[in-house]
């Protein structure tokens, strides 16, 4: 059965942006019910919204089609999410103090489902201590906010107040609807390539895009975890709700990870870390004065190996392997040598797998079994990996308890 989302639109100039959001949610199969404040109808017409949802749009509290049904109470009983987007300062104030003077505010007060608010207003209105206090009151009752972004506003001012972009809104909807199976867990993920400088212009790197690690970070956040992502250089958008630490070299990544290795329940090392770095980085650009160039390299520290040495009994560690030959054999050796609980082996030469793409083909190895997975999106695969890790941590906890006894 499709999820039911109540969308409340208020009198903000950003109301027009709700049209595309509603259209995309309908296309994704959600059941959408829309309520509008009277002010919102001056920016967007109910007829426009109804053409997308194929359902009545509610404005007036007393506009009940059936006298036997109190709409603002009945319509939210089976709702999975109540989202106010955009939310004006006026409506936020009313919601904070429980005022129920229109269909939207009455239904919000009657709803017992999770609630999400995306403010959009002038920067000075948003930063006003009164607005901030009202938002804090709502947060204390469990309401989640999608913070506005900074930019040029409709009024001509610049600052925080722009409605969050649609990708972020959709991510937060996924977050609100996802089961919080990783709630309270601290997860460290590494992602992307590293860059090893030769001179101020050039560097050694690899083809990693970071997409798998970023998909893992997004999925872990949506499942309720506290996520830290240590990322090498990528062009990817930072996942919402994730603490991202940017690094450049393998040595940078090593120090960022090793200093806090014991703080995490799960550690997922999906980064393609450079194996070697230059002994000396030239201060000036290396000139092409000869037909050949010899570089002297040294081996970088093995992050996954060091984590395996320092791990706590209660921690679960997942590494990644990518080989051009003997993938499973090498992945099994890595699993044992680096003291991991799980290795995700990437089938580089299989169609739909490898770097840069949005899909992957993998085998997941644990000490007990090898499971093969056909081509799927990296986002789908992220949930499979996290579910498998959750199973592994249960096994670790059992072993830990047995050792204590």
> Which strands make up the sheet holding 81-87, listed edge to edge?
57-58, 31-36, 4-9, 81-87, 115-119, 144-145
Query: Kindly report the CA angle at 216 between 212 and 221, in degrees rounded to 5?
Result: 150
Buried b (16+ CB within 10 A) or exposed e, 193-218: bbbbebeeeebbbeebbbbbbbbbbb
For residue 253, is the peptide bond before it cis, meaning its omega torsion is within 30 degrees of 0? no
Q: Which of 155, 260, 318, 340 is catalytic?
A: 155
> In which element (H, E) is residue 371 found?
strand 370-377
Measured CA to CA, the distance from residue 8 to residue 161 in angstroms comes to 18
Tell me whether residue 155 is one of the annotated catalytic residues. Answer: yes
For residues 107 and 74, what is the distance between their CA atoms, to the nearest angstrom? Answer: 9
In 183-315, the DSSP E strands lie at: 186-191, 196-197, 203-204, 226-231, 243-246, 266-269, 276-278, 297-299
Strand segments (E) across 80-182: 81-87, 115-119, 144-145, 149-152, 158-162
SS3 234: coil
CA dist., res. 238 & res. 244, Å (int): 7
Contact 278, 198 (CB under 8 A): yes
So which residues are the catalytic ones?
Answer: 155
């Amino acid at each position: 059965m499709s999820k039911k989302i109540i969308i409340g639109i208020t009198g903000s100039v950003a109301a027009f942006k709700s049209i595309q959001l509603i259209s995309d949610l309908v296309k994704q199969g959600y059941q959408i019910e829309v309520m509008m404040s009277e002010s919102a109808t001056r920016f967007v017409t109910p007829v426009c919204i109804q053409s997308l949802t194929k359902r009545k749009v509610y404005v007036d509290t007393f506009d009940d089609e059936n006298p036997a049904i109190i709409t603002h109470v009945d319509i939210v009983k089976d709702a999975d999410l109540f989202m106010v987007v955009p939310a004006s300062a006026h409506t936020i104030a009313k919601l904070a103090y429980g005022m129920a003077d229109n269909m939207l505010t009455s239904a919000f007060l009657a709803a017992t489902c999770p609630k999400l608010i995306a403010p959009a207003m002038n920067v000075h209105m948003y930063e006003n201590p009164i607005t901030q206090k009202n938002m804090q009151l709502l947060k204390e009752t469990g309401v989640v906010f999608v913070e506005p972004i900074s930019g040029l506003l409709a009024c001509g001012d610049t600052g925080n107040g722009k409605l969050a972009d649609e990708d972020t809104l959709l991510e937060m909807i996924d977050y609100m609807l996802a089961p919080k199976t990783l709630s309270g867990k601290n997860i460290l993920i590494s992602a992307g390539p590293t860059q090893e400088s030769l001179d101020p212009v050039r560097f050694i790197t690899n083809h990693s895009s970071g997409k798998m690690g970023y998909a893992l970070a997004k999925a872990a956040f949506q499942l309720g975890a506290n996520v830290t992502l240590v990322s090498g250089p990528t062009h990817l958008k930072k996942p919402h709700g994730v603490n991202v630490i940017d690094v450049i070299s393998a040595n940078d990544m090593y120090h960022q990870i090793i200093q806090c290795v014991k703080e995490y329940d799960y550690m997922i090392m999906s980064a393609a870390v450079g194996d070697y770095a230059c002994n000396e980085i030239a201060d000036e650009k290396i000139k092409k004065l000869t037909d050949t160039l010899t570089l002297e390299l040294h081996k970088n520290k093995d992050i996954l190996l060091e984590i395996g040495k320092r791990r706590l009994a209660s921690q679960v560690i997942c590494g990644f392997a990518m080989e051009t030959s003997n993938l499973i054999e090498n992945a099994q050796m890595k699993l044992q040598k680096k003291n991991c609980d799980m290795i995700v082996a990437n089938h580089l030469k299989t169609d739909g797998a490898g770097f840069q793409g949005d899909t992957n083909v993998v085998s997941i190895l644990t000490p007990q079994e090898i499971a093969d997975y056909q081509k799927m999106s990296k986002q789908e695969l992220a949930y499979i990996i996290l579910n498998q890790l959750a199973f592994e941590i249960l096994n670790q906890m059992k072993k830990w308890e047995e050792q204590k006894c």
